[in-house]
Amino acid sequence: MNRKIPLRALELQLLSSGSKIGVQLMWFVVIVILPLINPNIIQFHNPISIKINVLLALATSILYEILKVVYRKKGKDFRWVVTAQLLTSIILLTWFLHVFGRINGPFFVLYLLTIMESALNLSIFFPNVVVTIAAIATVSEFIWLLYGGEISLNLYSLLQVFIRIMSLFLMRSYGISLAQKLIEVEKTRELTQEYAKNLESVKKELESANIKLKELDSQKDTFISMAAHELRAPMTAIKGYVSMILEGDAGDIPEKARGFLADVDSINDRLIRLVNNMLNVSRIEEGRMVFQNEYEQLTNIVRIVYSEFIPEATRKGLEYKLDVPKKIRDKIFVDVDKINEVIGNLVSNAVKYTDKGSVVVSLSQPQEGIVRLEVRDTGSGISKDEQSKLFHKFYRVESNVGKTTGTGLGLYISKLLIEKFNGKIGLESEADKGSVFWFELPVAS
Ligand code: ADP
């Protein structure tokens, strides 16, 4: 028997002990008390034996139940009580059947109930013991009756014994399968409790790890925004000096040096864009971004950004074109610097990821009240699978990592900004077939 009895089995045991004591009490009243009131009410062959049997059965049952309660309260192992109780009850039952109706009698069914009861102790051993004793008693009882001449050996009496033995074994199988099921339930319950405990401690560990990660994340954000802030001023100064030299403020410079300085200028521009993106991420995410909206023609912003990339596109030998319709309603209400950064990100990517062919920047009016900017290139293109992740923070297309420098922030920022101005951003692309990045903004009335 298991030390820890599962709740369901305990309830069943209590139910079975309770009903057994109830039946025994009833017997006690019928067999002992009633004949005291009226001696003629029931006639027995062996009145003394039967009365002693019924008295003993009731008394031992009550005693064992009291013992079980005491042991359980003290938290002690009460297996021996259960064993003793079962043995007592099977012996008393055999004696009872012998003096009261024999195996022919209807009380044979009590054997079957005892087998079931023994199974409730979650053991396979108990039903086996009970069934063995009951089978031996049934056969010996049969032989006893045969020798006593009370029954004769014929097909009917043999069949009767056979059916009784069979029903004993059938009950044993039911009892054992019940015991096994209850044991399984208990094991599952214990396992579930253990898992629940483990899960709770894993949850706590995860929670504290999460808090630590959040702290680290915010430290990293602070570091990035500080570093970006410190980098921006010297880079802007470099840009100023380089353009002064290129404009001849420091006197004539050789053509070769001019070429190198133009490269310095465009590399510096790229660094400024990168630093701006880093600053923008933390500002937008922390809600610190200040927008200074004003009315402006999108064409004007596009022209400025477009011209910034002429040197880089020329250096790469790309066909670089701007296509703006003569008549277009392109007045928008935006923070011009921010839209400037978005267009800068898109054009910079197109030039960066295109090695040969063309980059075309164009404006159009797909429908009344909407103005659309497209940056079309003949570059590496992006597979459908990667397109869905492209606007995620820090996402870079696998094949570009290592080949080109970048942070994976440009498109993420661009999306946040365009959505701030109630616009939409997207792309059409296929691997190796170039890309079209676009955004649409509402036209201001
Ligand atoms: P970054 O260019 O700094 O890596 P972006 O957010 O601007 O970050 O772009 C994310 C990724 O999208 C890039 O790493 C690149 O792989 C891919 N990408 C963006 N624009 C293009 C383009 N025009 N052609 C091909 N790939 C592109």
Count the domains in the chain.
3
Task: Judge whether 310 lies within some domain.
Answer: yes
277 lines ligand 1 (CB under 6 A): no
Q: Is residue 298 part of a domain?
A: yes
Q: Ligand 1: distance of its center to the CA of 352 in Å?
A: 9
Domain boundary pick from 286, 312, 338: 286
Q: Are 305 and 225 found together in one domain?
A: no
Closest CA to 46 of 1, 113, 98: 98
Same domain, 141 and 249: no
- The pLDDT > 70 percentage for the chain reads 95
CA atoms within 13 A on the CB side of 147: 5
- In sequence order, the 6+-apart residues with CB closer than 8 A to the CB of 359 are 313, 318, 319, 320, 321, 347, 350, 351, 375, 376, 377, 378
Kindly report whether the global pTM for this prediction surpasses the value 0.75.
no
Residue to substitute in 377, 411, 416, 417 for testing ligand 1 pocket (most ligand atoms within 8 angstroms of CB): 411
Same domain, 89 and 192: yes
Residue 1's pLDDT band (boundaries 50, 70, 90)? Answer: very low
CA distance 211 to 217: 10
Q: How many Å apart are CA 45 and CA 26, to the nearest integer?
A: 20
- Compute, in angstroms, the gap from residue 345 CA to the centroid of ligand 1: 9
Q: Closest residue (by CA) to atom 3 of ligand 1?
A: 406
331-334 vs 294-297, strand pairing mode: antiparallel
Rounded to an integer, the average pLDDT of 351-364 is 95
274/406 same-domain check: no
Determine which residue's CA is closest to atom 20 belonging to ligand 1.
349
Domain interval for residue 109: 7-199
7 pLDDT more than 60: no
381 Cα: distance to centroid of ligand 1 (angstroms): 10
Place of tokens 């079309």: 376
407 pocket-lining for ligand 1 (C-beta < 6 Å): yes
Q: What is the mean pLDDT of residues 394-419?
A: 83
387 lines ligand 1 (CB under 6 A): no
From 277, 374, 397, the mutation candidate for ligand 1 (largest count of ligand atoms within 8 A of CB) is 397
Instruction: Judge whether 206 lies within some domain.
Output: no
Is residue 208 situated within a structural domain?
no
Are residues 80 and 191 both part of a single domain?
A: yes
Same-domain check for residues 179 and 43: yes
Both 305 and 268 in a single domain?
A: no
Q: What is the average pLDDT across 189-193? A: 90
Say whether 215 sits in a helix, a strand or coil.
helix
CA-proximal residue: ligand 1, atom 11 (nearest)? 396
Domain boundary among 286, 316, 350: 286
pLDDT at 266: 83
pLDDT at 265 over 60: yes
Closest by CA position to 86, among listed 105, 108, 68: 68
Instruction: For residue 232, give the CATH number of its domain.
Output: 1.10.287.130
Distance (Å) from CA 201 to ligand 1 centroid: 42
Give 270 Cα–ligand 1 centroid separation in angstroms. 14
pLDDT band for 148, please (50, 70, 90 cuts). confident
- Which CATH number do you get for residue 314? 3.30.565.10
Q: Residue 409: CB within 6 Å of ligand 1? A: yes
| Ligand 1 pocket, residue 435 CB under 6 Å | yes
The pLDDT of residue 3 is above 70: no
Tens digits of per-residue pLDDT, 209-248? 999 999 998 888 888 888 888 888 899 999 999 999 988 8
Do 353 and 258 fall within a single domain? no
Q: Is 390 in the pocket of ligand 1 (CB under 6 A)?
A: yes
The verdict on residue 2 lying in a domain is: no
pLDDT in tens, 21-72: 888 888 888 888 888 888 777 777 778 888 898 899 999 999 998 998 898 8
Domain final residue, candidates 232, 267, 286: 286
> What's the confidence (pLDDT) of residue 401?
62
> Does a structural domain hold residue 1?
no
Q: When comparing pLDDT for 122 and 168, which is higher?
A: 168
Q: Are residues 264 and 298 in the same domain?
A: no
CA 363–ligand 1 middle distance (angstroms) = 21
- Give domain status of residue 205, yes or no: no
Specify if 225 maps to a domain. Answer: yes
